[in-house]
Structure 1
């Protein structure tokens, strides 16, 4: 037995004889990407394979060679260089949404953020673009237990911070002498695509490194808005940049220091060692520690492949035992420019660079010299600088250091 309400519902569910029920088709999903509606096309995603080039990708998509030639000729290299399509890079092929499915577009991702859209339907043109990027500021702190890179990792910070952090302090702190228990704090920015996909480190806004009980502050400040040049200064607006870098390569370890008397490992006799040896893997880039002109780029039985750079009438540096030289006599090199690569040529027992330093024609220990700083900040910029760094310094100072005991 049914109630009235049930009978009524039952009657509503029964269609009359010959009546067709109307079912609404679901709306097609709209897919938006690359600042366009991809779902307006039939699209295929793929990656560049070994041996691929633009023509071969187009050939697989049914684009005739004559059309490929028109596309390449119609788009300047400044918009898209068709010769620079790299293996492993993602691309999207656009086809017309009809029965022919004719290829009409190609989207190439240069990296995680930058892409180029190439259209060749009714007309041929290209548009550069960037995926939407969100920059998030973060604060982190860590303590040295073995090395800077390990400390960065233990603090849960992106590995990309390591070299940037070392670059900031390379003029003022000897990374070969970092001690267990040295501490650091960093305010840095990370990039995220669509607010979720990690896309690397954007910049380090501020940092402090506590080394041998002394705090070294660093603040990133725009010093030339015309060219967009930033540089790092301390809390007193003193530049962290020096005329000379502390070392001629990315920090590794010092295997032998400048000494008036050292037992030579190859010649097996006591003699002066008028250089500082930095042990590193073969092929590690060696850079000039200051601007200057190459006055020697040669090979000798003792030095192996070596380069000598004259910086001023007062200062000269030399770099020995290279596996390969990257400059020639007469070249002008900038501070930090690669001049060769670590090797073990000449009288060497293992891969390293022997770094030698002259002052007024006399070889000296660079670590015992009072070397000049780079140009100071202009006085008229200092008020805006101090105003700019105030919130950053407050944020650093309010962040507690991690104790070495906490890491044990």
Structure 2
């Protein structure tokens, strides 16, 4: 009995089946657009950490001859205290002739004679043991490279370029501004810079409340993909007790509010780095020594004896003297409208008639005169009338005007809209990493 034979496919049909199978397998292995979208959606920004918004493209200059340096044997040497370049070369096994030839190559190599303890030298030797390359990092951006072609030395300064991201950070204050800013990922320098920017309008020692909030756009510098330092604060908002203040950096490097008015006022809000206020402006205060009702026409700031007292603004010293009530005191006239007074100083450091600039030290805090303890009594007069130094409206200084102001206001509007958009995205947890 003959067996039944299986049907046979033509060879060309088998070939087509194999091709179709390979194609289907390739499609199965390719990630779908839906998969990519899902992966990105999972990479959401975490609130409380700086977020990179945009990246400015910049590429590091490749080192010439890199393929050759990969084949070299490298020795690293750290300059020690009292060690000269000649001693370093001798320790590495190089003679004085090589040193003399290398040092006298050009101005770049002559600087090697001024090395300091801790400086690093990297020596690259070929397989014959001859010095082919020397590298000396100048800083995290620049490296001096000296090469030998078999006859002479030549040098170049390799300079890496920094990539700049624009980052965003914000926080709502619960206990203190410092704690909130620290948790938001800002550096100590940035925290102090924000306090300085808004310090003309907000007393960070006394006015901060739970529920206050701030938002900041700032630059972050990267080198080889790693963060190296923070750049400028580009824009910031600070809401204090329901009132929102803005600060935007202009092309001139100065900061203005959204209308182009200078953040830097004509006067310091507080002329001393104080610990606390022991007595506020009070027209019906009981005098602590006499017990009688006597107006307290200034603010008493408590700080360690010897703390510098600053001129609140540019002006001319009206008085620099002593009496049994004021102790050592200084009065400064700021134009025809404003006068500031500084009482109970340990030491006066200016003379009558002397011109002073805002921030100049006019004396040091003390306890001279009729006082119960060391402090600065500070008064602010407008047209001869005493005003509360902590609440008086301080005049603006060096504000923008004309076309410059118009251009700036457009820029400020864009920056503030950017902050608002990012704040909304963060609140909804919708920000995606680039």
TM-score by length of 2: 0.60
Q: Does 1:91 align with 2:116?
A: no
Q: 1:151 aligns with which of 180, 189, 209?
A: 180
Distance 1:44 1:372 in 2: 59
How do 1:143-222 and structure 2 match up within 5 A? 143-175=172-204, 176-199=206-229, 201-222=230-251
Name the one with the larger strand percent: 1
Greater relative contact order structure (CA < 8 Å, 6+ sep): 2
Offset at 1:373? Answer: 1.9
Question: How many residues of Structure 1 are paired with residues of Structure 2 in the alignment?
Answer: 345
- Give the aligned partner of residue 288 of structure 1: 311
Distance 2:374 2:157 in 1: 44
TM-score by length of 1: 0.63
Residues 1:106 and 1:168: Cα distance change in structure 2 (over 3 Å) = same
- Give the aligned partner of residue 411 of structure 2: 388
- Give the aligned partner of residue 239 of structure 1: 262
The Cα offsets for residues 59-117 of structure 1, whole Å up to 9 and x where unpaired, read as 863799xx99xx9xx98xxx99979x7x9xx522466859798xx886555xxx57796
Residues 1:132 and 1:358: Cα distance change in structure 2 (over 3 Å) = same
How do 1:360-379 and structure 2 match up within 5 A? 360-361=383-384, 363-367=386-390, 369-379=392-402
- Give the aligned partner of residue 61 of structure 1: 88
- Structure 1, unmatched stretches of 5+, are 1-31, 223-228, 404-408
Residues 1:391 and 1:368: Cα distance change in structure 2 (over 3 Å) = closer
- Structure 2, unmatched stretches of 5+, are 1-59, 91-95, 428-434
Structure 1 vs Structure 2 CA RMSD: 5.0
How do 1:8-407 and structure 2 match up within 5 A? 44=76, 46=78, 58=85, 61=88, 90-93=118-121, 109=139, 132-175=161-204, 176-199=206-229, 201-222=230-251, 229-249=252-272, 253-263=276-286, 267=289, 269-270=291-292, 271-280=294-303, 286-294=309-317, 307-320=330-343, 332-335=355-358, 337-339=359-361, 343-346=365-368, 352-361=375-384, 363-367=386-390, 369-398=392-421, 399-400=423-424
Other structure's SS at 1:185 match: strand
Q: Which moved more, 1:307-316 or 1:146-155?
A: 307-316
Name the one with the larger helix percent: 2
